[in-house]
Chains A and B, each alone.
Chain A
Amino acid sequence: MRMSKKGILTGVRDLFSSKKGILTNVRDLFSSKKGILTNVRDLFSSKKGILTNVRDLFSSKKGFEMQFSWIFILIAGTIILSFFVMLAQKQLVISESKQEIYVWQKFNDVFFSALSGEDVNFVMDTSATLHFYCTNIQCSLKIGKKEQPYDLPIFSPAELNGGPLILWSKTFNSPFHITNLLFISNEKTRFIIVSDANNPLKTYLENNLPQGMNVDFVVNAMNEQYQGHDHVRFVFIDVNPKIHPSFNDAPHSIIKVAGNKVFINNQEYYFTDEHKELLLAALFSENSDMYEIQLKNKIFDRIKDISMILKEKARLNQDLQCYTNLKIFDDLASTADALNNDLSDLTSLTNAEKAIENSQKNCPRLY
């Protein structure tokens, strides 16, 4: 290579302008006896110095050609680089879209199964992050960039970072079938249920929580330490809440159950023996707002609508000396409506349900 004495720019010009062509020259450069590093060193140690070479270059006719070569290299390099960056980004978007569609398809299957009244117990393996959120009007699920409102009451942490996801449902009857409550959790969310060994609610939870859930039943929470989970939910059943200091800076939440009261974020809610599903809903809810909105919009509103339809069905059977008192349906609807304002009066709901249940005796069944 001749370029060591001439400086780097002249060398590059030679590289482009020689008969051999650029690729052959580059090959020569790498295969020269002196080696490429020595060539580069020579270039910088030339007598005139590199800056002088550059000045000479730009002030001559040949220099103009050189300048063009450099600009050309820069532009071509930038285009190639940006092109591949764009390609990579596009590919990323496409693969994300495909993953989102797959997860949505799976979710729609689960939603549908639960909506159609079947009991769902499903494990979904996904790497997608799920965001659940509610406004005053509706609740939505967001996966990637796509979000979709959902009709089922879904009780879940607000964010689930991948799977395997555990999805299961529980029927809600009042006294006729209203809907299915869908519960979602993952292995990264740990439940620690603290109660006396013989507590009936503990037994209820043991029998009703699905297999595969990350749940521990303990007598003393102080023995449990933080193990790096995304979130740890403590449920204290008739026990004073006390947790190990390792949870102080860890993501955790505490739910307290006392008698038939459940406290989420210090907000007081109720459940009854007839509607213990509401306790499950409270345990899985991210916060009191999400619990309340779903109860109101997706359960009590549905009770109101379905009881009005059954009232019409009952009216059609009145010629059989049945369902002479249609007020019981209005009572149920108004109780459900009242629960939208005050969630505490579940006893009235149970009474209204019993009245409808009793009215079916010796009559065509309404449900």
Chain B
Amino acid sequence: MINERSGQIKMFENVGVLVVFFFLLMTGIIFYFSYQEKAINEQFFELNKAKSFRVAEIVFSMPELGCYYNNAHFYACIDEQKMIAFQKYAGDHPEVYFPILGFAEIKLDNQIIYEYLPEKQKDVFAYNLPVVLFSPDKNKRCGDTALRGLCEPKNLMVKYYAS
């Protein structure tokens, strides 16, 4: 009788040990996975952030907007005449540029170049980048470059909406 009772106590002890063991294990696992999830979300955030920066870079390099001379590309330069044409064309055909630029708002100083906003926004990344606005004029020269025209420093604002 005494043996059985002490055996029962031992068994409860064992159960207790297991409960505590599982409790600690579960707590540890919950912390571990929440940390991992947070780390992955952070990586996704960084990925979106990098993507948003690329949108700005894409704007510089699009043949529809960029400055070219004999197909040689001038970095961080926007052709004013192309920009005027692009505003009109992208406004009339938003489906053409959405796959390239996504949900974004792109302005040169206060002039809207491209605007396509999502219904629901998650994260917004905004950048201001210095650019050169090139206006063709055969009597002028843009710095030391082959470009004939006036070059003015401007501010390109890119707002990218992660979907």
A interface vs B, CB < 8 Å? 16-19, 21-22, 62, 65, 69, 72, 76, 79, 83, 87, 90, 94, 97-98, 101, 104-105, 108, 112, 115-117, 138, 149, 151, 171, 173, 175-178, 301, 305-306, 308-313, 316-317, 320, 364-365, 367
Report the Cα distance A97→B29, complex, angstroms: 18
Within the complex, the shortest CB–CB distance from B14 to chain A, in Å, comes to 6
B interface residues, how many (CB within 8 angstroms): 51
* B64 and A116 contact, CB distance less than 8 A: no
| Residues of A contacting B: mostly | helix
Does chain A have a CB within 8 A of B23? no
Report the Cα distance A10→B70, complex, angstroms: 94
* A18 and B93 contact, CB distance less than 8 A: no
Q: List 20 A-B contacts (CB under 8 A).
A: A17-B3, A17-B8, A18-B3, A22-B10, A76-B18, A101-B43, A101-B44, A108-B54, A112-B57, A112-B58, A115-B100, A117-B61, A171-B71, A301-B96, A305-B64, A309-B89, A312-B84, A312-B85, A316-B81, A364-B149
* B6 and A19 contact, CB distance less than 8 A: yes
Given contacts A94-B36, A176-B63, A306-B63, contact A83 B11 (CB under 8 A): no
User: Which residues in B have their C-beta under 8 angstroms from that of A306?
Assistant: 63-64
Given contacts A177-B68, A309-B64, A312-B84, contact A116 B11 (CB under 8 A): no
Within the complex, the shortest CB–CB distance from B102 to chain A, in Å, comes to 10
* B79 and A313 contact, CB distance less than 8 A: yes
* A17 and B10 contact, CB distance less than 8 A: yes
Chain B residue nearest to A61 in the complex (CB): B4
Does chain A have a CB within 8 A of B24? no
Tell me the residues in window 61-109 of chain B with beta carbons closer than 8 Å to chain A beta carbons: 61, 63-64, 66, 68-71, 73, 79, 81-82, 84-86, 88-89, 93, 96, 99-100
B interface vs A, CB < 8 Å? 3-4, 6-8, 10-11, 13-15, 18, 22, 25, 29, 33, 36, 40, 43-44, 47, 50-51, 54, 57-58, 60-61, 63-64, 66, 68-71, 73, 79, 81-82, 84-86, 88-89, 93, 96, 99-100, 136, 138, 148-149
Chain A residue nearest to B82 in the complex (CB): A313
Given contacts A17-B4, A117-B73, A367-B68, contact A309 B82 (CB under 8 A): yes
Chain A residue nearest to B14 in the complex (CB): A22
* A176 and B71 contact, CB distance less than 8 A: yes
* B82 and A69 contact, CB distance less than 8 A: no
Other than A21-B14, A115-B61, A178-B63, give 11 A-B pairs with Cβ distance below 8 A. Answer: A17-B8, A22-B10, A69-B11, A105-B50, A108-B47, A177-B63, A305-B96, A309-B86, A312-B88, A312-B89, A367-B68
* A116 and B44 contact, CB distance less than 8 A: no
* A177 and B73 contact, CB distance less than 8 A: yes
